[in-house]
Amino acid sequence: MQVGQVVIGSTNPRWIALQAILQVVNQGRSLDEIFNSEWYRSLPLDRRDLGLSRELVFGFCRWYFALSVLLAGRLQKPLRARDRDIEVILILGLYQLLVMETEPHAAVNETVKLALAQKKAWARGLVNALLRGVVRDKIRLDSSMSLQAYPDWVLARIQRDWGKQAEQVLLQSTQRPPMTLRVDTRQAAVGDVINELSAVGIDANRHVRIDSAIELSSPCEVGLLPGFAEGILSVQDAAAQIAAPLLDCRSGARVLDACAAPGGKTAHLLQQFENIQLDALDSSESRLERLGQNLQRIGKSARVLTADAASPGTWFEGNQYDCILVDAPCSASGVMRRHPDIKLLRRESDIMPLLAQQRKILDALWRLLKPGGKMLYCTCSVFKDENENQISKFLQRHPDCVEIKLNDVDWGELRPYGRQILTGGDNMDGFFYALLTRPGAG
């Protein structure tokens, strides 16, 4: 597409960012889905432009709610519904000015080009005047705007659940997350891996709490990581690396990883414990393809089942499990810093169905656990209803269940039921863990 003497199209990272964002806001597609699509993967962008497009997309989602308030206050009249693309373009301009601190002339001019590329020449003056006004008035991004960077219902729920801690959770959830790696410590020592990364110019440090985790000082492509292709390194937040060690599976154990895709915890279980018989189950066939790719990369195998964890009658063959990992579907409120599109895609009306689904999965899988076996329930949520409240109700329904208190660990905080990591705690994602057992001979 040509605008004057300027070409706007698949080689322009800002135009690519706009098209990706419009798929989120108009079609409800997730960023994972978009970035893994054939359209995005085939774009003729070099590494630098690809990085800029992703920065703009993530930044838009991360700051949309705060910047839309700022935008509304500077518009003389609201934009029409059919001009949602102009709203997106204006917020992209604001993000470049206020967060990226792009040189004002470049930010304004490039944003005007996007409006013209959408065949809306009428918006040229609006975009130009509004963004130049922000520069003239020396608008700055402050902590109060960070607290506005959420839909109202998320704000209300976090404030209700966490009181004085809520502000810190909200502030942390607007930060960029670290790129954290898991080391297969059966193949390599963490210190040796850090030295190998340093030798190729990648700065990394041990995580302060999780022995298998290292944090990179800045993100890089996985293809540049020595040992990634061989399965020595995997990308996984430190909080997610807690799951496998907590189950402490013995040799020969039958293990179920329910809701397993895309397979990070499945891979960790297989690397952590020798000679386990692992069933990896998920209802999404496409996500299980990614699980299969992960297992192939690390050179491990599992029995992969495409089925609903809440309906074991369709797949369970009668041989109970020694260990069950229930990585339950949830609001993902603890990983909004890593997946900021959650703010745009998740609705308050989603929570009750999720709670019902979690309850159904827990009740169904509990019957599949051997006496003396262990079930680990976890979510990447900071909402109490999905976590400690869900486990409290489960224990009331199942008097044959006993919680194993996680007292002897130094991560997160002990709750009346389970243990909670709040977003940003020790630079980890928000996660909840509750370890349960059925008393009896194993």
Catalytic residue ranges: 380
- Residue pair 115/123 in contact by the 8 Å Cβ criterion: yes
- Residue pair 258/365 in contact by the 8 Å Cβ criterion: yes
- Residue bearing tokens 């996007």: 114
- Closest among 365, 440, 431 to 402, alpha carbons compared: 440
- Closest among 246, 245, 243, 236 to 213, alpha carbons compared: 236
Paired tokens of 346:
């998740």
Compute the distance between CA of residue 243 and CA of residue 148 in angstroms, rounded to an integer.
32
SS (H, E, C) 228-294: CCCCCEEECCCHHHHHHHHHCCCCCCEEEEECCCCCHHHHHHHHHCCCCEEEEEECCHHHHHHHHHH
Contacts of residue 289, defined as CB under 8 A and 6 or more positions apart, other chains included, come to: none
Q: What sign results for the dihedral spanned by CA atoms 30, 36, 42, 46?
A: positive
Compute the distance between CA of residue 327 and CA of residue 323 in angstroms, rounded to an integer.
13
Query: CA separation (Å) from 293 to 90, 115, 229, 262?
Result: 39, 40, 11, 9
- Residue pair 84/47 in contact by the 8 Å Cβ criterion: no
Q: For residue 369, give the 3-state DSSP assignment.
A: strand
What is the rounded radius of gyration, in angstroms, for the C-alpha atoms of the chain? 23
The alpha carbon of residue 213 and the mean position of all alpha carbons in its chain are separated, in whole angstroms, by 17
Paired tokens of 168:
């810190």
